[in-house]
Amino acid sequence: MNSGSTQPETANCALWKAKLDPYLDGELPAKELRAFDAHVRSCASCSADALSRVQTKRAVQAAGKRFMPRQGFRQRVQRSIADRPTPQWRLSWRGAFAGALAALLIAGAVSLGYFSRIRQNTEARLQETTYNEIADLHVAALASSAPVDVISTDLHTVKPWVQGRIPFAFNLPELQNSDFFLLGGRVTYLQQAPGAHLVYELRKHKISVLIFQIPSGNEPQTSPVSTKAASFSTETWSADGLRYFVIGDAGEDDIHKLAEMFKAAAHG
């Protein structure tokens, strides 16, 4: 009797594990994604596999950052262009001067356009990497047998517990007269910086709110940005030296509503 009850479970897990990569890459339809979320939370084996793959993805992303252009790359290339000797054209000095000037203008325009594209591509890769890491943190929390370290629906319990373990303070919204429920919180890390990870529930959907301190010298981004990371809706903004991320498989309107509650709490 025992062997008969174990075999269907093994076959079921094999079916889910075959879909693990599409799940982590956000390629599953919404219905299958919700079913996979429910299975991962109830299956220790699939949860461990999901967590292992998330950690592998983050390690690969971190390794890829080593090959991004450094800050002084643009200046070195521009200096090498400026140091090149001017060709000795067999023209009059007026023609040579005009030709050299035109060449420098063209080279400058090309190099500025080239480096502008490099900067834009670099910023886009950094933004995509950040969103992917946030999605990984959300998935890892859901896949864990203990998604939060402090379990409580009381923000006055969760907030001091988390703030006592990170180098900054934040406010949490009151949830009365809303459909959101606070499940708890934990300390997490983004690019080796500690932050707060709060987990909320809305109609069986799990939503993560992650808060990090903006590094000194970086200008805060005040306008919110909504995007898709994997199969999740995400909204992010910066205020008062902190960067906020709200991510989950709930609808974009629900993600935005929770984000607005955090903004109101921050200025309350």
Contact 263, 209 (CB under 8 A): no
Contact 258, 207 (CB under 8 A): yes
pLDDT bucket at 255, cuts 50 / 70 / 90: very high
Question: Greater confidence, 8 or 30?
Answer: 30
Tracing tokens 């607005």 back to the chain, one arrives at 260
Please tell me the predicted confidence (pLDDT) of residue 89.
Answer: 47
The yes-or-no verdict on residue 114 having pLDDT over 50 is no
The yes-or-no verdict on residue 82 having pLDDT over 60 is yes
Please tell me the predicted confidence (pLDDT) of residue 69.
Answer: 61
Tracing tokens 């109830």 back to the chain, one arrives at 42
Least confident segment among 30-34, 112-116, 253-257? 112-116
In the 8-state DSSP scheme, what is residue 15? Answer: H
**Helix (H/G/I), strand (E/B), else coil: 89:** coil
Least confident segment among 4-8, 116-120, 141-145? 4-8
**Helix (H/G/I), strand (E/B), else coil: 267:** coil
Please tell me the predicted confidence (pLDDT) of residue 70.
Answer: 62
Domain ranges of the chain: 1-67, 69-120
The yes-or-no verdict on residue 3 having pLDDT over 90 is no
